[in-house]
Amino acid sequence: MLSIIIPAYNEEEVLEEFYRRLTGVLSKIDLPYELVFVNDGSRDRTLQLLEGLSQQDERVVVIDLSRNFGKEVAVSAGIDFCKGDAVVIIDADLQDPPELIPALIKQWQNGYDNVYARRISRQGESKLKKATSYLFYRFIRGMTHIDIPADTGDFRLLSRRAVDALKQLPERNRFMKGLYAWIGYPAIAVDYRRDPRYAGETKWNYWKLWNFALEGITSFTEVPLKLASYVGGFMAFAAFCYGAYMIIKTVIFGNDVPGYPSLLVAILFLGGIQLVFIGILGEYLGRAFAEIKQRPLYFINKIIKK
């Protein structure tokens, strides 16, 4: 059996076309399937449309979360409730084409547990977003010991044992792209060209993307914390060398007292570094605080089946 997990947040403009294209692809595959839509606290008509789909198609399951918890949690909710031997995760905005699913299934049948779709082009996105995404994936791969594939998102197929492994990971701060890689198991990429959104607007602005990047970095590497120690040690050594130089210079040549501008610059520079690393410590402390509270990842308002 094949499960398709579709997180949805304010997707009323694309749902009907997405359902038409997806079921058109799945009708040509010789596998029974279920469509697990996770309504992540939508404020438009998304839930009503999903209820209609569940009435007309017994393979549609709707998990209505009690509020908007974010995409990472919505995907996790779908993983918790899906029943398939293979699980495909795909967004509803049609940037990731459902027509690629047969290629993912073929690689799963060849023995791969994690078949991820790798973007070789991204239509409809600004140059700034493409550049920042390119840099982020390579930056995080260089900082962590986990091999997180570059240019990939949530669009992928997971085997049942990979899904069961993900269900054992209890953390509240979830960077799913890292978790997919962390569990291991044989993985392979399937290349594709990403389309622009079929309709509607993206839910990801640059502020959300920045926080998402912080989530990924602080979830899978302690390098920023180590960097604080290295920078602090370097600055202390540089200050010691400069102090020794000033002592020698004063003994030999004397000192005419000026140096206020350089002193002010040094104070501001060191103060700025300290504030940056206090902020980094705060990021890690905040995530540790969230984990210690042990709150549930989500609450469900209702589950809708035919």
Q: Which of 232, 182, 230, 211 is nearest to 283 (CA)?
A: 211
pLDDT digits (tens, 9 = 90+) for 245-282: 766 766 676 655 566 556 666 776 777 677 777 777 77
Q: pTM higher than 0.75, yes or no? A: no
Given pLDDT bands bounded at 50, 70 and 90, which one contains residue 223?
low
pLDDT at 35: 93
Dihedrals phi, psi of 189, to nearest 5 degrees = -100, 145
| Percent of the chain residues topping a pLDDT of 70 | 71
In angstroms, rounded to a whole number, what is the distance separating the alpha carbons of residues 292 and 171? Answer: 10
User: Which ranges of the chain does DSSP label H, i.e. alpha helix?
Assistant: 15-26, 46-56, 71-81, 101-109, 127-143, 160-166, 176-182, 206-220, 223-253, 260-293
**pLDDT, tens only, 52-86:** 898 888 899 999 999 988 888 899 899 988 988 99
